[in-house]
Copies of this chain bind each other. A is one copy, B any other.
Amino acid sequence: MTGTKDGERAILSRARDALRLEAAEVERALAGCLDAWPLPAGLREAMEYSLLAGGKRLRPVLCLLFARLFGLGAAAAMPCALALECIHTYSLIHDDLPAMDNDDLRRGRPSSHRRFDEATAILAGDALLTDAFVLMAGTRGVPPERVLEAVRAVSAAAGSAGMVGGQFLDMRYTGKAGIGWEQLAAMQALKTGALLRASCLAGAMLAGADPEGIASARAYGEALGAAFQIADDILDATGAEERLGKPVGGDAAGGKPSCVAVLGLARSRHLARAGADAAIAALRGRAGETADLLRGLALYTVRRLE
């Protein structure tokens, strides 16, 4: 599938358009996802400020695509897709806090604690994380044992043995010399990889994929997650501020270890490309538009670097 440059370009171009459509559908559903229950107006404002601040919506799109790959429509997979974006958003709000990365900007706007205050930012994050499970548990049209399996995969990926554990290690490593690539890769696999992988897995689980399908989703998600994080490190080292919404080199300036700092730009690019290839390989033998889209998404992850 990646044999010729022309073939790649065509897949990439079709994928980009289709992914924009998927993301737009997620965007519409996100805008109404807090309407189902009453909550204090000020808290809602803070939650929506961060939740509706744009972004690629990569996690929900992955969930929807893997659900569709195994035969489940967007309506049934959407609550889980929205939950994944709520969890991602909470993690950004808490990561930005003064006691954590102390970032004033997020996606080009004041971060939550700068726009509101610290207490509100902590609570908006707590609420988005918790409400994610309200959304998932309200899934309709999927057998409950599958929903429960997805709840387990998503919570495990977000919790102490996943994203929170990764952020904890990240804090420990920040400003420390001598962090090697293995430590760094293991930390990033928890911090960003686990939830990206769970996004793919949860979609496949909700759709009732067989063990081989589940293994495909896991392998794709794991490889994509690795490629994605390395690509982010490269963009942070080389990219333009408007693309990330914060100053170039901001993370490195704060003493954050990164792939680029540890391995250099050339090896980082190589690893990102290898990750995208591995993601594409995980879908070998799967035909159809959705599989092509997922291949295009993997390509896009590294192509945005060029």
How does the 8 Å CB contact mask read for A147-190 relative to B, with 1 for contact and 0 for none? 11101100110111100110111011000000000000000000
Q: Provide the bound-state CA to CA distance between A144 and B44, in Å.
A: 31
Q: A167 touching B123 by the CB < 8 A rule? A: yes
Q: B137 touching A152 by the CB < 8 A rule? A: yes
- With A100-B119, A148-B148, A152-B137: A44-B126 Cβ-Cβ less than 8 Å: no
Q: Does A39 contact B (CB under 8 A)?
A: yes
Q: Does A253 contact B (CB under 8 A)?
A: no
Q: Which of A22-30, A128-136, A213-221, A281-289 contacts B (4 or more CB under 8 A)?
A: A128-136
Q: Does A127 contact B (CB under 8 A)?
A: yes
Give the shortest distance, in Å, between A110 (CB) and chain B (any CB): 16
* B residues near A40, Cβ cutoff 8 Å: 160, 165, 168-169, 172
Give the shortest distance, in Å, between A274 (CB) and chain B (any CB): 26
Q: Does A43 contact B (CB under 8 A)?
A: yes
Q: Provide the bound-state CA to CA distance between A129 and B155, in Å.
A: 9
Option from B138, B144, B156, B169 in Cβ contact (under 8 Å) with A134 = B156
* B residues near A266, Cβ cutoff 8 Å: none
Q: A160 touching B120 by the CB < 8 A rule? A: no
Q: Does A210 contact B (CB under 8 A)?
A: no
Q: B148 touching A144 by the CB < 8 A rule? A: yes
Interface size range of chain A in the complex = 35 or more
Q: Provide the bound-state CA to CA distance between A296 and B148, in Å.
A: 35
* B residues near A94, Cβ cutoff 8 Å: 122-123, 126
* B residues near A42, Cβ cutoff 8 Å: 168, 172
Q: B120 touching A168 by the CB < 8 A rule? A: yes
Q: Provide the bound-state CA to CA distance between A125 and B117, in Å.
A: 19
Please name the residue on chain B nearest to A146 by beta carbon. B144
Give the shortest distance, in Å, between A160 (CB) and chain B (any CB): 4
> Which of A130, A147, A156, A158 has most B Cβ within 10 Å?
A130
A residues apposed to B, CB below 8 Å: 34, 37-40, 42-44, 47, 94, 97, 99-100, 117-120, 122-123, 125-127, 129-131, 133-134, 136-138, 143-145, 147-149, 151-152, 155-156, 158-161, 164-165, 167-169, 171-172
**30 A-B residue contacts at CB 8 Å?**
A37-B159, A38-B161, A39-B160, A40-B160, A42-B168, A47-B160, A97-B119, A119-B171, A120-B168, A120-B171, A122-B122, A123-B167, A126-B126, A126-B129, A127-B164, A129-B130, A130-B164, A131-B155, A131-B159, A133-B155, A134-B155, A134-B156, A136-B151, A137-B152, A138-B152, A144-B144, A144-B145, A144-B147, A148-B148, A151-B151
